[in-house]
Amino acid sequence: MENYQNALVTAVIITYKRPLEILERAIRSAIGQTHANMEVIVVNDYPADQEMVEAIRSMIASLHDSRIRYIVHERNSGACKARNTGIMAAKGEFIALLDDDDEWLPDKTEQQLRGFTSDKVGMVYSPFYNITKDLPGTIAVRGTKSGNLLEDMLWTNRLGGSSMSTIRRGVFDVCGLFDETLLSSQDYDMWVRIAQQYEINFVEKPLTRRYLLAESITNNYEKQFQGSMAFLEKHKDLLMQYPAAYNFRLNHRANKCFEQGYHKEARRLCRMAVKVKPFSRYNVTEPVRGMVKYLFRIKRS
């Protein structure tokens, strides 16, 4: 069993127009890890607001922690570019990504490093707490498996977002960086590419607090649609090797299109799904669910 108790871990925090106190909460959770050998890279992707640029610089200085580095993009380039900037600047043997509105529990890094039991393991993930105005801390568990997760991952993103995992630095040399052309599903795309090359291990303790905000990309349908369709096209050849998963992905996207009123696109996806696997139950259940949600939404409005 590998022992990484002294390994350098780089926390990469990307920020864009985030209120200072929320960003500070994320940074403090990174420098407050029980695993002491940390470096923290903060990448500001909103250079247009020079007042905020300097406010972040002053806030970081006030923390009096030499492990923190601050990088400001020359122009707004998007979340994937910002993550890639941090990854390329990282010195750590492991990289842990942290969204600026999330925070880690103090032993997140320590616990996940224990999950790297061999050099075949490229990534370790854990459950997390979903926190909203109405939900003070519901535990979300998208997956509980370890090992070869490729087929599982093609059905759905079982690992969650970028704040929930720790990744071996060399993984990015093998699998590439985040795809900067995607407007959503960037994490999911990265995790699938990792699952093609490495084992992924699960640590069962919830180790991240994920704060769900109204303006989150999760709630932005247009970006969701672009990202999910680009994901399906990008991984089409791989998905064709797993027709049951591919059928479900197409029908699930049809579900979402029906729900939002994009019925022409939904019908096109349904036809594709039937060609992939004609007798799948998802050819009925997913489109029907989407139509029912659409009708309820119309009735409420």
Interval 95-149: pLDDT, tens: 999 999 999 999 999 999 999 999 999 999 999 999 887 767 788 888 899 999 9
Average the pLDDT over 3-25 and give the result: 95
Is the pLDDT at 153 greater than 90? The verdict is yes
d(CA 40, CA 98): 10
Q: Taking the CB of residue 8, how many other CB atoms lie within 10 A of it?
A: 16
Mean per-residue pLDDT of the chain: 93
The number of angstroms, rounded, from the C-alpha of 205 to the middle of its chain's C-alpha atoms is 18
- Per-residue model confidence (pLDDT) at position 183: 86
Is the pLDDT at 218 greater than 90? The verdict is no
Residue pair 104/163 in contact (Cβ under 8 Å)? The answer is yes
- Per-residue model confidence (pLDDT) at position 1: 59
d(CA 253, CA 228): 8
Is the pLDDT at 86 greater than 60? The verdict is yes
Residue 199's closest CA among 119, 141, 96, 144? 119
d(CA 180, CA 216): 18
Burial class (CB in 10 A: 0-12, 13-18, 19+), 240: exposed
Residue pair 56/15 in contact (Cβ under 8 Å)? The answer is yes
Give the type of residue at 160: G
- Per-residue model confidence (pLDDT) at position 217: 45
What share of the chain has pLDDT > 90, as a percent?
83
133: alpha, beta or left? (left if phi > 0; alpha if psi -120 to 50) = alpha
The H or E element containing residue 97 is strand 94-99
Count of helix runs (H) and strand runs (E) in the chain:
12, 11
pLDDT digits (tens, 9 = 90+) for 37-65: 999 999 999 999 999 999 999 999 999 99
d(CA 122, CA 172): 10
Residue pair 26/105 in contact (Cβ under 8 Å)? The answer is no
More confident call, 175 vs 217: 175
d(CA 301, CA 297): 6
Q: Taking the CB of residue 131, how many other CB atoms lie within 10 A of it?
A: 16
What share of the chain has pLDDT > 70, as a percent?
96
Residue pair 194/172 in contact (Cβ under 8 Å)? The answer is no
Is the pLDDT at 299 greater than 50? The verdict is yes
**Phi and psi for 46 in degrees, rounded to 5?**
-135, 70
Residue pair 246/156 in contact (Cβ under 8 Å)? The answer is no
Domains along the chain with CATH numbers: 9-218 (3.90.550.10), 242-300 (no CATH)
More confident call, 93 vs 260: 93
d(CA 195, CA 183): 21
